Chains A and B, each alone.
Chain A
Amino acid sequence: MKDSVRNIQGWLLFTPAAILLLAFTHYPTVTTFFQSLYTNKSIIRPRRFSGVEAYESMFSDPIFWKVFVNNMWLALGTIPTSIGIAILMALIVNKAIPGRGFLRMAYFTPTMLPMIAVANIWLFFYAPDIGLIDKVLEIFGFEGNNWLGNPSTVLPSIIVMTVWKEAGLFMVFYLAGLQTISPELEEASKLEGSSRWNYFWRIQFPLLLPTTLFVLINAFLNSFKLVDHLFVLTKGGPDNASNLILYYIYETAFSFLDISYASALTIFLLALLALTALAQFFFLDRRTHYR
């Protein structure tokens, strides 16, 4: 077959995917970028070029900084904990123990639930006085707390819920990772007198590094992407104590109808996530063993 014919065939195969990507990913991204460079159009004022004004006001906006810091705390609070719990759960259900199938299912259930349903369940746990947590505290004679209404406990409460929801998903990845490790490696290290912990730390954990890299990127992206629960639980309150970047973007764009500022926020989020993904990829990739 001639090269030109092969080239045309190649392009034809590529076209459907390219159209979808261009229409729903690249075009909106580029439009958003341009929108962030212009002011909003209204009846009395036409659109005008404003350059980086929207970005300047973003960096001087105290609410922006608040939601950004909130988001960082959420990432810091959920990622190490959920990875740790996921590895632990995976190690447990990787062993030949009775009821293993049931345990695996139980650990995975929170992941299968939609975020809105999870939020509804936790709304019941966190409800002041009548909620599960306050009821249990009452039995032991502790005073209850309005977990979601108190600015100092609302973000930790949401972190706990996110860990509960995400650990099961990460467990599945770790379980898959563990099962690619030959059981003979454990036998060999046992014969050498290696303790369970030493085996985990010297053998299993390094061999799980590719999984960890994957989970790390996903967990970080999720901590910026998952905001469904805010609609049910707090709407970002009280006083933006639980507000997150994506929810703030949504509010700015569709409640305050400030498209220009929302576009600037979106571009910022996009840049942040892209840079993080690249940094993680290049930094961790070098030190990670791939088979």
Chain B
Amino acid sequence: MSAIEVKNLSRSYGDIEAVKDVSFTVPEKSFTVLLGPSGCGKSTILKMLSGLEKVTHGIINIAGADVTDVEASKRGVSMVFQSYALFPHLNVKENIQFGLKVRKVPSEEREKKVKEAANAVGLTDLLDRKPANLSGGQRQRVALARSIVSDQSVCLMDEPLSNLDSKLRAEMRDEIRDLQKRLGLTVVYVTHDQVEAMSMADQIILLKLGKIVQVGAPEEIYNSPNSVFSAQFIGLPPMNILNINEIDISSLDSKIYSEVDSNKNIKDIGVRPEHIVFSKKGLSVIVKSIDYFGGETVFKLTHKEKDFFLREPRQPKIQLGDKLCVSWSLDDMYLFDKNDQRLKS
């Protein structure tokens, strides 16, 4: 059974359509990421799921019930906000049990639940602190504990890691994922960070300008993007998109050449940076920059004033300005039509 089912969801503000006819389902106990650049409507969708934002058109089902017009607190969802939304005058314990008090949970049960939640996120020693005396990561944990303690099956997270530094972000990523698995939560997670999406998600919903571009598991979107947008949004550096009229396709491998030449619909070819290799024959390039990361080296190459990236796990002896040739295998090449859609071969 799916925990959340969204059908034809739209939201407009005056003439501006922030979300256009979006439909998707979130399986129970799964981790779904709404991913997209800023302004793609991902936060608006999350707020509509939570009930904090009105729905213009469409239906939202949570746990089998139509909640489109149900008020926020009765939808069975909890939320972790980008700014954590902790109450600054209440200590950690009061913050965690705020909702329990509102719902008049008896004090013994309240104590027990707060203890469990604090334990789950490692806050047991900090219950008396005020949010002002906590670090960013600790505040994040309080917000998580508040969400856990509410015992709702669905947890919504709005860019919860964007205020943390990169090391802490990586730690919290693991922790949130671990917590979700342990407690069997259904999580809908909004982010613009493709690394977060790739490392955490069971399912990624990729959005652009209020519309869904592609839905799938991380590896599915990475390995078979359905459009130029998908291909370039996921992966770092992004997939190289080369217009076939701007490069010297005749210099490529004969199999690739015949494949590209045979189909008149092809506008671009795409190759991931790690699939391009230096070779004796192929596209002639000049090395424009070299970024050494230890585990890998990223080369920025230029061919007929068109820049693209090559990623190498080793450190080949190559200097800036070297004139070389690159190639790739037919299986690693993606083809896109003039509407930037993927052509299935």
A20 to B84, CA, bound (A): 48
The answer to whether A191 touches B102, judged by C-beta atoms less than 8 angstroms apart, is no
CB distance from A263 to the nearest CB of B (A): 45
The answer to whether B99 touches A193, judged by C-beta atoms less than 8 angstroms apart, is yes
B72 interface hit (Cβ, 8 Å): yes
A190 interface hit (Cβ, 8 Å): yes
> A189 contacts which chain B residues (CB < 8 A)?
98, 102
> A103 contacts which chain B residues (CB < 8 A)?
none
> A193 contacts which chain B residues (CB < 8 A)?
73-74, 99, 102-103
Residue-by-residue, is B76-99 near A (CB-CB < 8 Å gives 1, otherwise 0)?
011101110101110000000011
Known: A192-B99, A192-B102, A194-B102. A187 touches B85 (CB 8 A): yes
Interface residues of A in 18-54 (CB under 8 A from B): none
Known: A184-B81, A189-B98, A194-B102. A289 touches B50 (CB 8 A): no
Q: How many residues in B have their beta carbons less than 8 Å from beta carbons of A?
A: 24
> A190 contacts which chain B residues (CB < 8 A)?
52, 72-73
Interface residues of A in 167-211 (CB under 8 A from B): 182, 184-185, 187-194, 198, 202-203, 206-207, 209
B10 interface hit (Cβ, 8 Å): no
A6 interface hit (Cβ, 8 Å): no
The answer to whether B102 touches A203, judged by C-beta atoms less than 8 angstroms apart, is no
The answer to whether A191 touches B88, judged by C-beta atoms less than 8 angstroms apart, is no
The answer to whether A191 touches B73, judged by C-beta atoms less than 8 angstroms apart, is yes
The answer to whether B85 touches A184, judged by C-beta atoms less than 8 angstroms apart, is yes
The answer to whether B103 touches A185, judged by C-beta atoms less than 8 angstroms apart, is no
The answer to whether A291 touches B78, judged by C-beta atoms less than 8 angstroms apart, is no
A189 to B90, CA, bound (A): 13
The answer to whether A191 touches B132, judged by C-beta atoms less than 8 angstroms apart, is no
> A289 contacts which chain B residues (CB < 8 A)?
88-89, 130
The answer to whether A207 touches B81, judged by C-beta atoms less than 8 angstroms apart, is no
The answer to whether A206 touches B89, judged by C-beta atoms less than 8 angstroms apart, is yes
> B88 contacts which chain A residues (CB < 8 A)?
207, 289, 291
A193 to B103, CA, bound (A): 7
How many A residues touch the partner, as a band? Answer: 10 to 19
Consensus secondary structure, chain A interface:
helix
A187 to B132, CA, bound (A): 20
CB distance from B272 to the nearest CB of A (A): 39
The answer to whether A184 touches B150, judged by C-beta atoms less than 8 angstroms apart, is no
CB distance from B341 to the nearest CB of A (A): 38
> A182 contacts which chain B residues (CB < 8 A)?
83, 85
A188 to B72, CA, bound (A): 10
CB distance from B194 to the nearest CB of A (A): 25
> Which residue of chain B is the closest to A209 with respect to CB atoms?
B89
Interface residues of B in 131-161 (CB under 8 A from A): 132, 146, 150
The answer to whether B132 touches A291, judged by C-beta atoms less than 8 angstroms apart, is yes
Known: A185-B87, A291-B132. A192 touches B52 (CB 8 A): no
How many contacting A-B pairs (Cβ < 8 A)?
Answer: 61
CB distance from A177 to the nearest CB of B (A): 13
> Which residue of chain A is the closest to B78 with respect to CB atoms?
A191
A202 to B99, CA, bound (A): 12
A202 to B102, CA, bound (A): 10
> Which residue of chain A is the closest to B88 with respect to CB atoms?
A291
| Residue of B74, B85, B103, B132 ringed by the most chain A CB atoms within 10 A | B85
CB distance from A4 to the nearest CB of B (A): 41
> A206 contacts which chain B residues (CB < 8 A)?
89
> A198 contacts which chain B residues (CB < 8 A)?
102
A207 to B146, CA, bound (A): 20
> A207 contacts which chain B residues (CB < 8 A)?
88-89
> A202 contacts which chain B residues (CB < 8 A)?
87, 98
> A209 contacts which chain B residues (CB < 8 A)?
89
The answer to whether A192 touches B98, judged by C-beta atoms less than 8 angstroms apart, is yes
The answer to whether A188 touches B103, judged by C-beta atoms less than 8 angstroms apart, is no
> B150 contacts which chain A residues (CB < 8 A)?
192
The answer to whether A191 touches B77, judged by C-beta atoms less than 8 angstroms apart, is yes
CB distance from A12 to the nearest CB of B (A): 39
> Which residue of chain A is the closest to B47 with respect to CB atoms?
A187
The answer to whether B81 touches A187, judged by C-beta atoms less than 8 angstroms apart, is yes
Residue-by-residue, is B101-139 near A (CB-CB < 8 Å gives 1, otherwise 0)?
011000000000000000000000000001010000000
Contact of B81 among A188, A192, A203 (CB under 8 A): A188
> Which residue of chain A is the closest to B103 with respect to CB atoms?
A193
A289 to B90, CA, bound (A): 9
The answer to whether B83 touches A187, judged by C-beta atoms less than 8 angstroms apart, is no
> Which residue of chain B is the closest to A205 with respect to CB atoms?
B89
A203 to B88, CA, bound (A): 9
A191 to B49, CA, bound (A): 11
Known: A207-B89, A291-B132. A192 touches B83 (CB 8 A): no
> Which residue of chain B is the closest to A184 with respect to CB atoms?
B85
Residue-by-residue, is B42-74 near A (CB-CB < 8 Å gives 1, otherwise 0)?
000000001110000000000000000000111
CB distance from A185 to the nearest CB of B (A): 5
- What are 21 contact pairs spanning A and B, CB under 8 A? A182-B85, A184-B82, A187-B50, A187-B85, A188-B81, A189-B98, A189-B102, A190-B73, A191-B50, A191-B51, A191-B52, A191-B72, A192-B103, A194-B73, A194-B99, A194-B102, A198-B102, A202-B87, A202-B98, A207-B88, A209-B89
Given A191-B78, A192-B73, output 17 extra A-B contacts at Cβ < 8 Å: A184-B83, A184-B85, A187-B72, A188-B81, A189-B102, A192-B98, A192-B102, A192-B150, A193-B73, A193-B99, A193-B102, A193-B103, A202-B87, A207-B88, A207-B89, A209-B89, A291-B88
Interface residues in chain B, defined as those with a beta carbon under 8 Å from any beta carbon in chain A: 50-52, 72-74, 77-79, 81-83, 85, 87-89, 98-99, 102-103, 130, 132, 146, 150
Closest 5 CB pairs of A and B: A192-B99, A193-B73, A289-B89, A188-B85, A184-B85
